[in-house]
Amino acid sequence: MKRLLTIVLSLTIAISFSFQSPQVKAANPKVVTFANCKEMNKVYPGGVARSATVKNVGGKTKQKPFVSQAIYDANKKSDRDKDLIACER
C-alpha cells in the first residue's frame, strides 16, 4: 500500500510540473516622447525615474515615479532639476 501511494504521489507531482504554463515576462513599456510634463503626468502621474535607486532632490512627492530607463532617456529634457526623475509630482 505504501509503495502504491508513493508511486501515485510521484506521478501526480511529475504531471503537475509538466503541465505548468511557462512564465510570461512582462512586456517593456512603449517608449514615447512627451511634449511636456503635463502630457507625461497624464500617463505617468508620479513622473518617470531612470532607476529605482534615484533620490528626489526636490523634496517630498505625492506619488511614486514609474521606473524606466528608456522612457526617462527619451524625455530627459523634462528633468529640470537633473535628479534622474522626469516630471515628478
In the chain (89 residues long), the average pLDDT of successive 10-residue segments reads 82 67 54 95 94 85 91 95 92
C-alpha dist (Å) from residue 67 to 5, 18, 39, 88: 50, 35, 17, 11
Predicted TM-score of the model (pTM): 0.65
Give the DSSP H/E element, type plus range, for residue 86: strand 85-86
Residue 24: the pLDDT is: 44
Angle at 60 between CA 57 and CA 64, to 5 degrees: 95
So where are the chain's domains? 29-89
Nearest alpha carbon to residue 51 among 26, 28, 70, 32: 70
Environment class of 47 (CB within 10 Å of its CB; exposed 0-12, middle 13-18, buried 19+): buried
Query: What is the Cβ-side half-sphere exposure of residue 56, based on CA atoms within 13 angstroms?
Result: 19
